[in-house]
Amino acid sequence: MSNPFNYKHLYYFWVVAKEGGMSKAADKLDMAVQTVSAQVRELERDLGCELLKPAGRGLALTEAGMAAMQQADQIFQLGEALPSLVRDAVSAPGVRLRVGISDGLPKLMVRRLLQPIVNEPQLRLLCLEGQFNDLLGNLALHKLDVVISDRPAPSNPNIKLYSHALGASSVAWYGTTALLVKSDKPFPQNLNDLPVLLPTAHTASRDRLDHWLEQRNIRPRVVGEFEDSALLKTFGASGMGVFPAAESVQEDLLTHYAVQRMGQCAGVTEHFFAIGTEKKVQHPLVQRLLHPSTN
């Protein structure tokens, strides 16, 4: 399909808008003012509307011009980045995998979930952490190859996504030795006496944790809530409060954070999913994440 307008004309318009006038744009482009003006008029004819209007001794963008300028900014900023991206690709060839990490996920667990692909020769792994909905948006725009999350993707008829279960882990409570001796009650009743740290409400596990506490008539004194699981553990290790964490990473947790296991959060499970877009050709490393035993 042919382009509805000439990108060279769009570039001239973009320079005029950035420079604030035809004369300055002509100087920057090393062209005659008449030539630049003619190119911009060609673009306006192609688009069927005026993009620039007189404003004092200069020019100003019309409403249509502002809309065109927003798009042109994106187009030519990407174009300006292209040479360095190409040079990077040539100088460091490899297999690139762009992974979105839901910010509530335990970082030690993410490392385990990505284990099937980390030894890939010449792997170039790009991990981007963010909120769940933002990551799904970037996945739909093909800015990410896969999203690792604690919940499956919601049903959306406009975006074809799949959710593949990667595993699950029971949850337990942990705290520093100095903090645990402050209550002589057995677990879990001692949670009523101790300061508690919890994940924020946007994590999938928070509702289950709140329900577990309510069932046991525990009304904790919540002193901190964290979107980032690593921050939650770091503040827990400092003695600020006791906290829940996935038991699947307990060995690393006890080693690196110097805390003790208090007891299991029975019935509360953290689930882990890989979310991708339904494409005819899947990224080979995404396939390996989904089916590690067959590779």
Out of 1-15, 122-136, 232-246, the most confident range is 232-246
Which of the 8 DSSP states describes residue 4? S
Residues 10-68 have pLDDT tens digits of: 999 999 988 888 999 899 989 999 999 999 999 999 888 999 988 887 888 999 989 99
Residue 277 and residue 186 in one domain = no
Please say if the pLDDT value at position 289 is more than 90: no
Residue 234 lies in a domain: yes
Q: What is the average pLDDT across 273-291?
A: 81
Predicted pLDDT of residue 3: 55
| Percent of the chain whose predicted confidence (pLDDT) is above 70 | 93
Residue 223 and residue 233 in one domain = yes
Predicted pLDDT of residue 294: 56
Residue 50 and residue 99 in one domain = no
Residue 82 and residue 112 in one domain = no
Annotate 148-203 with DSSP letters as a single string. Answer: EESSPPPP-TTS-EEEEEEEEEEEEEEE-HHHHTT--SPTTGGGGTSEEEEE-TTS
Is 80 in a helix, a strand, or coil?
Answer: helix
Record the tokens describing residue 46, joined without a space. 């192609």
Record the tokens describing residue 188, joined without a space. 């879990």
pLDDT band at 159 (very low <50, low <70, confident <90, very high): confident
State the pTM of this model.
Answer: 0.63
Q: What is the average pLDDT across 75-90?
A: 75
| Percent of the chain whose predicted confidence (pLDDT) is above 90 | 46
Record the tokens describing residue 209, joined without a space. 């944790």
Q: What is the average pLDDT across 182-203?
A: 94
Residue 148 forms beta bridges with which residues? 101, 274
Residue 264 and residue 173 in one domain = yes
9-13, 62-66, 138-142, 216-220: which has the minimum mean pLDDT?
138-142
Residue 163 forms beta bridges with which residues? 275
Q: Which residue has the tokens 């688009």?
A: 47
Please say if the pLDDT value at position 93 is more than 70: no
Please say if the pLDDT value at position 288 is more than 90: no
Residue 2 lies in a domain: no
Q: Which domain holds residue 41?
A: 7-90
Predicted pLDDT of residue 87: 72
Q: Which residue has the higher pLDDT, 283 or 292?
A: 283
CA distance to 105, 132, 225, 266, per residue, from 285 (Å): 21, 21, 34, 35
Record the tokens describing residue 232, joined without a space. 């939650």
Q: Which long-range contacts (CB under 8 A, 24 or more apart) does 231-235 make?
A: 232/197, 232/198, 232/199, 233/106, 233/257, 235/197
Q: How many CA atoms lie within 13 A of 45 on its CB side?
A: 8
Q: What is the mean pLDDT of the chain?
A: 87
Q: What is the rounded CA–CA span in Å between residue 221 and residue 205?
A: 18
Residue 1 lies in a domain: no
pLDDT band at 1 (very low <50, low <70, confident <90, very high): very low
Residue 203 and residue 174 in one domain = yes
CATH of the domain at 216: 3.40.190.10
Residue 263 and residue 191 in one domain = yes
Residue 31 and residue 81 in one domain = yes
Residue 121 and residue 86 in one domain = no
Burial category of 251 from C-beta neighbours within 10 Å (exposed 0-12, middle 13-18, buried 19 and up): exposed
pLDDT band at 187 (very low <50, low <70, confident <90, very high): very high
Q: What is the rounded CA–CA span in Å between residue 127 and residue 102?
A: 10
Residue 145 and residue 285 in one domain = yes
Q: What is the rounded CA–CA span in Å between residue 290 and residue 295?
A: 10
CATH of the domain at 66: 1.10.10.10
Q: What are phi and psi of 193, to 5 degrees?
A: -100, -15
Q: Domain ends where: 32, 55, 90?
A: 90
Residue 103 lies in a domain: yes
**For the chain, how many structural domains are there in total?**
3
